[in-house]
Amino acid sequence: MSTENFQVAIVGAGPAGLLLAIRLHQAEVSFSIFEGRTREQLLQQQGRSLDLHPRSGLAALDACGLKSAVFAHARQEANGVTVTDKRLQSWFSYPGGSRNPHVDREDLIQLLVDAVPAENFRWNHKLERVDQDNSLLFRDGSRSEPFSFVVGADGAWSRVRAALSPRLPEYTGIAGQTFVVTNRSALDSPILRNMPRTGSVFSFSDKKAFIVHYMSKDRASVTLFQTDYKPPDRGAEIDPVDEIKRTRRLYEDWDVQFVRLLEHVDPASMESWQLHMMPLDFDWPVNPCCIVIGDAASLRSPFGGEGVNLALQDAFELSGTLITAAKAPANKRQQILEQEVSKFQRTMLDRGHLAQKLAKDMQAAMMDSSTAPRGTVADWVMQRARYEFSFKSKWWRMMLPILDIGVHAYYAGVRLLR
Ligand SMILES: Cc1cc2nc3c(=O)[nH]c(=O)nc-3n(C[C@H](O)[C@H](O)[C@H](O)COP(=O)(O)OP(=O)(O)OC[C@H]3O[C@@H](n4cnc5c(N)ncnc54)[C@H](O)[C@@H]3O)c2cc1C
């Protein structure tokens, strides 16, 4: 069946947009992918290690035939998690296994970009709006032809979303920065050295976070989040050196190792964050010619750690709908799209709302309470357990109250002993 008169526009070359592009390419569906940045800018961005989950993100990559390429870059031994307080006292430790590979964002983006034919990319095309006829208007004033279907994979501040709903992300009150540490001797910091098999160290106290992730090539990323900081306006110039000085003062009464590690961050690698979330009840009337996926649909703060996995899963599932529509006779397409887009949207948003709630609750446990992590770690563990058990059978879910009692009793005991 010819798919030539079915043209898809994908806006955004993040994980969601790129995975969708790969699937459409494999199924020989016509598409263009519009990215606001240049190819070089997209590939240069570094500074985050992503944890790929077998039931969602990794499954989507596997279905595209990319699992072995991902594993070639992944650090399978480095996926443990430790939670400490500001004195480096450990409150939770999970050694990790080999099922959830960790991959640097830059490596994931590179291998996804390489799997999409170069002629399908429209680099440096920043979308301004989607018009009624499904044509795209760009910031530079240029305009595309109308498309059969427009997919917004354009992240937190999606412009495609504005064609579906006036709702915007809400500020969580938490802001921060990510830096990369490239100095090998700095990686001997006791924050990391005492936990040799650990991929990530999450330290929380005083409504602040200090998060260290191992990365490939002898690097680590340091992400700092604060609740008591009014960040500069979005897009405002921030001097990284001043920012490092300011944040060092914020962590001065923490264990000295935190400030020491900050001395080794690369100022040029700084990325600033103001964490926003879409409202938990975000939805929009189904549009059979346009949809948003990934962060554009269900933006959440990173405290639940599901972001890239949901983005990849959304893209994979939407590709099935678009491939079916593209291969159907032209007179059946509208009906197929109306039914299938509606079903997909419901599944995606239900899944997204669950992950948003997880992020909100885990964030509240560690960032809203002045007793964290000591007083809140049991709740934090149970929030994750409840989320994971929601994918299991009802027999597993019946175990939750028992687990809840056990976890709270364990931490009550630990608190008594310390
Ligand atoms: C500090 C921080 C830490 C995180 N840590 C993790 C983690 O450990 N694990 C995890 O799973 N997730 C994490 N996330 C979340 C994860 O990065 C996102 O959920 C994921 O990248 C979403 O993918 P996406 O493709 O939907 O959007 P994005 O990755 O945001 O990609 C959107 C793309 O669209 C482009 N774009 C934007 N606007 C336009 C426009 N108008 N026109 C054209 N192009 C446009 C952008 O340039 C970008 O390339 C973290 C997020 C933050 C902020």
161-207 pLDDT, tens per residue? Answer: 999 999 999 999 999 999 999 887 777 777 666 554 457 899 999 99
C-alpha 231 – ligand 1 centre gap (Å)? 20
DSSP state for residue 367 in the 8-state scheme? I
CA gap 46, 160 in Å, rounded: 26
CA gap 417, 244 in Å, rounded: 37
373 CB within 6 A, ligand 1? no
Instruction: From 308, 309, 348, give the residue whose CB has the most ligand 1 atoms within 8 Å, as the site to mutate.
Output: 308
Closest atom of ligand 1 to CA, residue 158: 38
What is each CA distance from 198 to 6, 51, 204, 379, 414, in whole angstroms?
A: 48, 13, 17, 22, 22
Q: How many domains does the chain have?
A: 3
Closest atom of ligand 1 to CA, residue 57: 11
For residues 406-415, give the mean pLDDT.
97
- Residue nearest ligand 1's atom 37 by CA: 154
Q: What share of the chain is helix, strand, coil (3-state, %, to 5)?
A: 45, 20, 35
- pLDDT for the residue 182: 84
Same domain, 126 and 13: yes
CA gap 56, 164 in Å, rounded: 26
C-alpha 15 – ligand 1 centre gap (Å)? 7
314 CB within 6 A, ligand 1? no
Q: Is the pLDDT of residue 1 over 60?
A: no
Same domain, 64 and 161: yes
- Tally DSSP H helices, then E strands, for the chain: 14, 16
ipTM for this prediction: 0.96
CA gap 256, 83 in Å, rounded: 17
14 CB within 6 A, ligand 1? yes
Q: Which of 218, 248, 277 is the last residue of a domain?
A: 277
Same domain, 272 and 283: no
C-alpha 188 – ligand 1 centre gap (Å)? 30
Q: Which of 277, 293, 308 is the last residue of a domain?
A: 277
Q: Which residue has the tokens 């609750």?
A: 361
CA gap 249, 139 in Å, rounded: 40
Q: Which domain holds residue 393?
A: 376-417
pLDDT digits (tens, 9 = 90+) for 43-75: 987 667 888 999 999 999 999 999 999 999 887
- pLDDT for the residue 238: 82
Computed over every residue of the chain, the mean pLDDT equals: 92
**Residues ≥6 apart with Cβ < 8 Å to 339:** none
H-type alpha helices, 220-376: 240-250, 256-262, 295-298, 307-327, 330-363
- Residue nearest ligand 1's atom 3 by CA: 302
CA gap 73, 87 in Å, rounded: 33
Same domain, 289 and 267: no
CA gap 358, 63 in Å, rounded: 27
Q: Which of 277, 304, 328 is the last residue of a domain?
A: 277
333 CB within 6 A, ligand 1? no
Same domain, 67 and 203: no
Q: Does residue 405 lie within any of the structural domains?
A: yes
